[in-house]
Amino acid sequence: MADTSRALRHLPSVDKLVDALAAHLARSTGEAPIPRALLVEFARAELQEARRRVGDAGPGAGDERERALLAWIEAGGPLAGALARLTRERGAGLLRAINVSGVVLNTGLGRAPWHPEAVRAAAEVAGGYAVVEVDRWSGERNQRDERVSELLTRLLPCEAALAVNNCAAAVLLALQSLSGGRETLVSRGELVEIGGSFRMPAVMERAGVQLVEVGTTNRTRIGDFEAALGPKSALLLKVHPSNFRIRGFAEEASPKEMAELARQHGLFSAYDLGSGRVDVEGAASLDFLGDEPDLHGALQSGVDVVMFSGDKLLGGPQAGLVVGRAEVVAKLRKNPLYRALRLDKTILAGLERTLELLLAGRADELPARALLQRAAAEIEALARRIAEALSRVPGLEALVLPERSQPGSGSAPDVYLDTFVVALAAQGRSPSRLAAELRALPTPVFARVHEGRVLLDPRTLLAGEEEQLLELLRAHPWTGTGPRP
């Protein structure tokens, strides 16, 4: 024990560590503020960790171990540890990231990036007062999503629209409003789970909706719906399975058949479309998305309402949009849940601008749509430039390979887009270690790990990010073992 106390005596005090951390902070400006109490916490935690290490090396520990500990303390180990805690704190939370996963609608990375004009519109209203829920001409209170509704009725063959937090909220609101306490009929093959544990049966249960499963997993005909109708039936729901396809001996009732059956029996019909593909005039065709259904077709089928996300193929902020017949949309709006699910002013501003861009024939400018359409040749040129630059970084090896990327977010699961990637390897690092180190860079970089390789897919690099990516990778020490993330 006498030996270990020698090491303990060399540990810096809490105050000394806190002062060093504060001095480090003072050198950088413009980052998130950090309270002093947190610095004290970091210093204490690091010293406790050091004491634990000294303790571990206690009775019976060899001289060599003791010397190593002393050397670690003298080399500023505790301060480095406390600084690492500070770095982790400053790198926590919602930060801008570089997406080189190639997945355009990457849910983990926030799906569709906004158009710069949508960003400006949101920033403008964030820092001040805004015309959110009042009609500026009459001075009277109105609905905050009135403008969104107006724009959607111009864009799509629908009478009215409303906007809530996300598509899951839109589905919840529709189910609760149209069949709360009564029955919703859904095809068994469409009782889907969407990423993030959005399970249709669970949502129905919470919405107070009784679920009637119709047909079999692979085959549901409209006759099966007709046979399942009863006195408590209220809603026929069509769900786009999004993230999977049933192939082969399969059949489903079409939205048109379901809308007609509902109408004949005085029931409601709704279509959870999810990804919200919209083909607009003046924009490149989205035919490369294959059989991914689109909003015009969904509405023309005659269903009462269609629900979709704002941040998937539409290319705007996170939102859940309901479009369809005016009286049915009004019914959803009257539900008290609508108030609980409503959107914030910044999102509404971004959404309005996104819809205005779609209406102005500028759809191809929306980043998500542009990235999905990015030509393989353009991606290859990017990949070659990046690979060439990275090959010159000591410790890195980079190679260009042809690959395929997916749209993401469960949109068009069958669709593979031709792309080119930079396969990256770093000295002495496993692929998962390398990927973790990329995520730990000052601006996190998210690559794809596929078949034991780290792949950088430049399809999802936005304007200005190529240089930033190279700078981040050049500034990192790849030779030696590097800092453990």
Ligand X SMILES: *Cc1c(COP(=O)(O)O)cnc(C)c1O
Nearest Cα to Cα of residue 376 among 356, 411, 403: 403
Distance set, CA 73 to CA 3, 12, 25, 67 (Å) = 14, 8, 22, 10
Tell me whether residue 99 or residue 166 sits nearer to ligand X (CB atom). 166
Tell me whether residue 242 or residue 405 sits nearer to ligand X (CB atom). 242
CB of 194 to ligand X, least distance (A): 5
Alpha carbons 77 and 75: distance in angstroms, whole number: 6
Pattern 303-332, binding to ligand X, x per CB under 6 A?
------x----------x------------
Residue 229 contacts ligand X per CB under 6 A: no
Residue 4 contacts ligand X per CB under 6 A: no
Tell me whether residue 69 or residue 167 sits nearer to ligand X (CB atom). 167
**Position among 102, 293, 324, 410 found at the interface with ligand X (CB under 6 A):** 410
Residue 220 contacts ligand X per CB under 6 A: no
Sort residue 234 into left (φ over 0), alpha (ψ -120 to 50) or beta: alpha
Parallel, antiparallel or unpaired: strands 445-446 and 98-99: parallel
Nearest Cα to Cα of residue 246 among 188, 293, 189, 187: 189
Tell me whether residue 167 or residue 329 sits nearer to ligand X (CB atom). 167
CB of 314 to ligand X, least distance (A): 10
**Position among 106, 184, 187, 275 found at the interface with ligand X (CB under 6 A):** 275
Tell me whether residue 198 or residue 420 sits nearer to ligand X (CB atom). 198
Parallel, antiparallel or unpaired: strands 183-187 and 210-214: parallel
| The one segment of 268-276, 293-301, 358-366, 424-432 that binds ligand X by CB under 6 A | 268-276
Residue with tokens 């520990």, as numbered in its chain: 61
Alpha carbons 365 and 376: distance in angstroms, whole number: 18
Structural contact between residues 311 and 319, judged by C-beta atoms closer than 8 angstroms: yes
Burial code (b: 16+ CB inside 10 Å, e: under 16) for 254-269 equals ebbbbbbbbeeeebbb
**Position among 183, 224, 272, 437 found at the interface with ligand X (CB under 6 A):** 272
Residues in contact with ligand X, counted by CB under 6 A, come to a total of 15
Residue 406 contacts ligand X per CB under 6 A: no
| The one segment of 143-151, 155-163, 226-234, 239-247 that binds ligand X by CB under 6 A | 239-247
Alpha carbons 79 and 84: distance in angstroms, whole number: 8
Residue nearest to ligand X (CB): 274
Q: Which residues within the stretch 154-193 sit at the binding site for ligand X (CB under 6 A)?
A: 166-168, 171
Alpha carbons 47 and 53: distance in angstroms, whole number: 10
Tell me whether residue 29 or residue 197 sits nearer to ligand X (CB atom). 197
Interface ranges with ligand X (CB under 6 A):
166-168, 171, 194, 198, 239-240, 242, 272, 274-275, 309, 320, 410
